[in-house]
Amino acid sequence: MTSKRVYIRTFGCQMNVRDSEIIYGLLIERGWKKAESIEDADCVLFNTCSVRHHAEQRAYSNMGMLAKLKRRRPELILGFVGCTAQKDKDIVFKRLPHVDLIAGPGEIYNIPDYLDAILDGGEKVMAAGMPERPECKNPLYRENKTSTYVSISEGCDNFCSYCIVPYVRGRQRCRKKELVIDEVRSLSLMGIKEVTLLGQNVNSYGKDLKDGSDFITLLEEIHTIDGIKRIRFVTCHPKDTTIRLFKTMRDLPKIYNHIHLPLQSGSAKILKAMKRGYSPAHYLGLIDALRSYIPDCNITTDIIVGFPGENNEDFKDTYNMMKRIEFDSAYIFKYSPRPPAESSRLVDDVGADIKKERHAEILKLQKEISKKKRRLRKAAVLPMA
Ligand code: SAM
Ligand code: SF4
């Protein structure tokens, strides 16, 4: 047991937020305390994201700035963990020679042991051999005592051509239904009222389990847990989203009326090149069906502008589709090539200025739409999101 303090800085998505919480939980079980700041810590871990170039570079440059602190306090342990650590395992020690630990997302359960080894005077540790983490019982430690994340699957099988996730987090592995239910039940006994189920593609939950369970049956079972008052989930993939899900959302009152359904592009040509597995017409059909079952459903999305080959017509298709659908909100990203993802082999031919212009144009449109939707919800024409 140690009485040292750890500080974790998280980059990226909800998956990483949850992973950082798991790491905190595992370390607290070993006697570590949570530090309030980097200055106050004996160990600083950066839980990194590799989905976009920008977030990755921010992690590198912020960790670079800690070199000075490490010179002043050589006993300070610095760790670079998560997706960028996995992707760049062979270069992190060269780029950041003051770092002591590299650990990919598949290694999070071993982090306490690696830190013990380093504290015992051992060598630096590089642990990024396996992107796929074993199925483990997660610590119940939660930072928020009423609302929390529960991960239901890891990794992804979809290999969208722009996306690095399957390479750094491995293929989809779903957590057994009993393990998820057990975790939610224990959380409800601790006073948690709201759970957000996490997966890269929650709709494909169960595909690899071969025990008959799927996302809908999981939702139905969680719905029976007494203390849980609200259930949310992210992310739904349009190609696997079904009318059965919309009916379940309508019929189970604890399921929050919100769906995050990343569109990515409104152009049939670009969606094909992205390997998303649906057409704009299919996506529009889903939205129309959803609104017929749940007229006030809050709908959010992700959009990428500037994918290779995106011309003015393709961009207009995205713009017009967003205008037609009127999402409640949208995350809009400028495309960046992410080797070894497939599209990184295409020429990144949409210039930085055009990407910036298209990003600003879509953002402006979405801001107007979001404002209008908020006004309608406030006037109770639509319920508040
Ligand atoms: N699994 C989810 C899905 O399919 O939507 C989330 C995946 S990713 C972590 C979150 C978002 O990042 C994606 O929906 C996409 O819009 C964006 N993204 C992924 N790769 C990107 C890239 N190479 N360039 C720009 N944005 C990217
Ligand atoms: Fe990436 Fe596509 Fe999987 Fe989402 S569904 S994590 S975008 S490969």
> Which pLDDT tens digits describe the chain residue by residue (385 residues)?
668 999 999 999 999 999 999 999 999 999 999 999 999 999 999 999 999 998 899 999 999 999 999 999 999 999 999 999 999 999 999 999 999 999 999 999 999 999 999 999 879 999 998 767 777 778 899 999 999 999 999 999 999 999 999 999 999 999 999 999 999 999 999 999 999 999 999 999 999 898 889 999 999 999 999 999 999 999 999 999 999 999 999 999 999 999 999 999 999 999 999 999 999 999 999 999 999 999 999 999 999 999 999 999 999 999 999 999 999 999 999 999 999 999 999 999 999 999 999 999 999 999 999 999 999 888 876 665 5
Buried/exposed 211-225: b ≥16 CB within 10 Å, e otherwise: eebbbbebbebbeeb
Give the Å distance between the CA of 118 and the centre of ligand 2: 35
Q: Is 200 in the pocket of ligand 1 (CB under 6 A)?
A: yes
| Euclidean distance between CA atoms 171 and 154, whole angstroms | 8
Nearest CA to ligand 2 atom 4: 200
Q: How many residues does the chain have?
A: 385
Give the Å distance between the CA of 13 and the centre of ligand 1: 10
Structure tokens at 53: 């170039």
Give the Å distance between the CA of 51 and the centre of ligand 1: 6
Would you give the end-to-end CA distance of the chain in angstroms? 45
Q: Which ligand has the shortest distance to the CA of 236?
A: 1
Nearest CA to ligand 2 atom 2: 160
Q: Is 238 in the pocket of ligand 2 (CB under 6 A)?
A: no
Q: Map tokens 């139905």 to a residue.
A: 220
What are the backbone dihedrals phi and psi of residue 161, each rounded to the nearest 5 degrees, phi first?
A: -65, -20
Q: Is 201 in the pocket of ligand 2 (CB under 6 A)?
A: yes
Cα separation values, 49 from 52, 59, 90, 130, 358, Å: 8, 8, 17, 17, 24
Q: Is 160 in the pocket of ligand 2 (CB under 6 A)?
A: yes
pTM attached to this predicted model: 0.94
Instruction: Count other C-beta atoms under 10 Å from residue 59's C-beta.
Output: 24
Q: Which ligand has the shortest distance to the CA of 339?
A: 1
Give the Å distance between the CA of 301 and the centre of ligand 1: 11
Please name the helix (run of DSSP H) or strand (run of DSSP E) that holds residue 21, with its range, or none: helix 14-29
Q: Which ligand has the shortest distance to the CA of 301?
A: 1
Check residue 211 and give its pLDDT: 86
Give 7's strand partners.
44
Q: Is 86 in the pocket of ligand 2 (CB under 6 A)?
A: no
Nearest CA to ligand 1 atom 6: 200
